[in-house]
Amino acid sequence: MTQHSSKPTITAFETSPDRGRGLARDMRVRWALEEVGQPYDVRLVSFAAMKQPEHLSRNPFGQIPTYEEGELVLFESGSIILHIAERHPGLLPAAADTRARAITWMFAAVSTIEPIIIERQVAILNEGNEAWTKQRLPMIEHRIRARLGQLSQHLGDAEWLDGAFSAGDLMMVTVLRRMPGSGLVEEHANLAAYVARGEARPAYQRAFAAQLAVFEASSAS
Amino acid sequence: MTQHSSKPTITAFETSPDRGRGLARDMRVRWALEEVGQPYDVRLVSFAAMKQPEHLSRNPFGQIPTYEEGELVLFESGSIILHIAERHPGLLPAAADTRARAITWMFAAVSTIEPIIIERQVAILNEGNEAWTKQRLPMIEHRIRARLGQLSQHLGDAEWLDGAFSAGDLMMVTVLRRMPGSGLVEEHANLAAYVARGEARPAYQRAFAAQLAVFEASSAS
């Protein structure tokens, strides 16, 4: 494993739109860094600064989180977490086949599950005042339910998606958390317990506290 | 690099809904296998079979493509292509930092660009008869334009997204191809040329011919 000597720096929202509930994508990178015991620095960026050349040079799409480690600059939470997992033990199995399957779950989280959850969020936040949203929401939730039903079926009585806890679970738990109050995850007792198991991990709790502290500092000032 | 001795088997639609235009996700896996010169078998699955236990044991979400290599079974095109890229030269740079950046573009393709393109597709295919779709489509396309503008800005005059052609470009080109006839990619001459460069690669053309042959056989029978 290549060990870079420098402490990495990630970016996060200066003013968290979720009011410290840990729903933004820096949460998953913080959690991964806590799981492997890697200290990190955080650079807070405002919504205005995210669209400026300095931040766009880190992420052309103007989003958080980004990850800087010496000369290396990465974006996309999935890519950042895979990078961390490749450099530290604790997030991916050592055996080639189980490792490949854990990475499959990372992609499933961001490519098969998260997009419909984001579509629901966009419908509520951006199109909440449109007349059609009341009719469209049940259609979106029908598609979310289909996916969660399949995920619940796969998980069954297992603790994690494929053997031991991995970066695939870390990604999936953070994705499933993005519908607070919807009750959709709670329709499957095993999925709700799965998310709770993730949230109970000490590394998760340290990461959650760190992002909450940012919100509390910003709202106190 | 671990070399498995067995020839991999992928799954693809028995009856391609895109009529052989190479828009389904098996296309990107075929392309990756062609880039590295790895022969493969294809198991065609019907829409009904995709929801049956046999296929669900390969992919709990009942989608194609899946990938079988000896005992290993994977799904998610991003994960499959990363697996292929790790076992064969030609799809990822050898240097750790440029390799990590290429993987970042794989995630950007499936997590930042593809979801809004799929949302547009869903609006047209599933909600095309709804009164609101005429008003919603420009809103979705506004979001697509914003992302494509940023991607075009990043690409500039470069041939590929980050140095030499990589699995990141392979994923991005196949994602951008999923809006044929929309004219959205063509609004940026550099993006249209980028997609055309991908399509001009001999490996792409072999993969395209292979998936087209499946459609032609199914429509002739």
DSSP B17-29: TTTTSS-STHHHH
Non-local CB neighbours of A152 within 8 Å, separated by 6+ positions? A188, A190, A191
Where does the pLDDT of residue A39 fall: very low under 50, low under 70, confident under 90, or very high at 90 and above? very high
pLDDT of residue B144: 98
At A196, which helix (H) or strand (E)?
A: helix A189-200
Chain centroid offset of residue A188 CA: 20
| Closest CB from B96, B136, B151 relative to A2 | B96
pLDDT of residue A16: 84
pLDDT of residue A6: 81
Question: Scanning every residue of chain A, which has its alpha carbon at the shortest distance from the alpha carbon of B118?
Answer: A115
C-alpha A113/C-alpha B162 separation (Å) is: 28
Find, among A13, A113, A2, the residue nearest to B75 by Cα.
A113
Give the mean model confidence (pLDDT) for residues B130-147. 95
Calculate how close chain A gets to B199, using CA atoms only, in Å: 24
Find, among A220, A221, A213, A163, the residue nearest to A26 by Cα.
A213
Where does the pLDDT of residue B6 fall: very low under 50, low under 70, confident under 90, or very high at 90 and above? confident
pLDDT of residue B1: 46
The SS3 assignment for B43 reads: strand
Amino acid at B119: E
Amino acid at B199: E
Calculate how close chain A gets to B221, using CA atoms only, in Å: 33
Question: Scanning every residue of chain A, which has its alpha carbon at the shortest distance from the alpha carbon of B152?
Answer: A60
**B127·A136 Cβ contact <8 A:** yes
At B68, which helix (H) or strand (E)?
A: strand B66-69
**B79·A139 Cβ contact <8 A:** no
CB-CB neighbors (< 8 A) of B178 in chain A = none
Find, among A76, A78, A57, the residue nearest to A66 by Cα.
A76
Where does the pLDDT of residue A1 fall: very low under 50, low under 70, confident under 90, or very high at 90 and above? very low
Give the mean model confidence (pLDDT) for residues B65-92. 97
C-alpha B147/C-alpha A18 separation (Å) is: 23
pLDDT of residue A146: 98
| Closest CB from A96, A106, A150 relative to B62 | A150
B42 strand-pairing partners: B10
B59 has a pLDDT exceeding 80: yes
Calculate how close chain B gets to A28, using CA atoms only, in Å: 15
Q: Are B16 and B211 in contact (CB under 8 A)?
A: yes
Q: Which token pair is B18?
A: 């895109």
Calculate how close chain A gets to B127, using CA atoms only, in Å: 9
Question: Scanning every residue of chain B, which has its alpha carbon at the shortest distance from the alpha carbon of A156?
Answer: B60
Contact status of B53 with chain A (Cβ, < 8 Å): no
ipTM of the complex: 0.96
Where does the pLDDT of residue B221 fall: very low under 50, low under 70, confident under 90, or very high at 90 and above? low
Q: Are A106 and B79 in contact (CB under 8 A)?
A: yes
Where does the pLDDT of residue A221 fall: very low under 50, low under 70, confident under 90, or very high at 90 and above? low
**A110·B107 Cβ contact <8 A:** yes
**A115·B118 Cβ contact <8 A:** yes
Give the mean model confidence (pLDDT) for residues B138-162. 98
CB-CB neighbors (< 8 A) of A154 in chain B = 60
Give the mean model confidence (pLDDT) for residues A116-145. 95
Find, among A89, A80, A113, the residue nearest to A164 by Cα.
A89
Please provide the average confidence, as pLDDT, over all residues in chain A. Answer: 95
B4 has a pLDDT exceeding 90: no
Q: Kindly list the structural domains of chain A, giving each domain's residue range(s) and its CATH number in brackets, ordered by start.
A: 9-90+203-220 (3.40.30.10), 96-201 (1.20.1050.10)
Calculate how close chain B gets to A89, using CA atoms only, in Å: 17
Find, among B166, B192, B26, B197, the residue nearest to B85 by Cα.
B166
Q: Which token pair is A58?
A: 């880190």
Please provide the average confidence, as pLDDT, over all residues in chain B. Answer: 95
**A83·B101 Cβ contact <8 A:** no
Where does the pLDDT of residue A3 fall: very low under 50, low under 70, confident under 90, or very high at 90 and above? low
pLDDT of residue B3: 52
Give the mean model confidence (pLDDT) for residues A73-100. 97
| Closest CB from A71, A82, A112 relative to B61 | A112
A4 has a pLDDT exceeding 90: no
Give the mean model confidence (pLDDT) for residues B111-116. 98
**B151·A60 Cβ contact <8 A:** yes
Task: Please give the span between the terminal C-alpha atoms of chain B, in angstroms, as a whole number.
Answer: 42
CB-CB neighbors (< 8 A) of B66 in chain A = none
C-alpha B38/C-alpha B42 separation (Å) is: 13
Give the mean model confidence (pLDDT) for residues A183-211. 98
Task: Please give the span between the terminal C-alpha atoms of chain A, in angstroms, as a whole number.
Answer: 42
| Closest CB from B63, B80, B153 relative to A60 | B153
A156 has a pLDDT exceeding 70: yes
Angle (CA) A113 A78 A50, round 5°: 100
Neighbour order of strands in the sheet with A41-45: A41-45, A9-13, A66-69, A72-75
**Number of inter-chain CB pairs under 8 A, A vs B:** 120
Interface test with B, best of A68, A82, A97, A137 (most B CBs within 10 A): A97
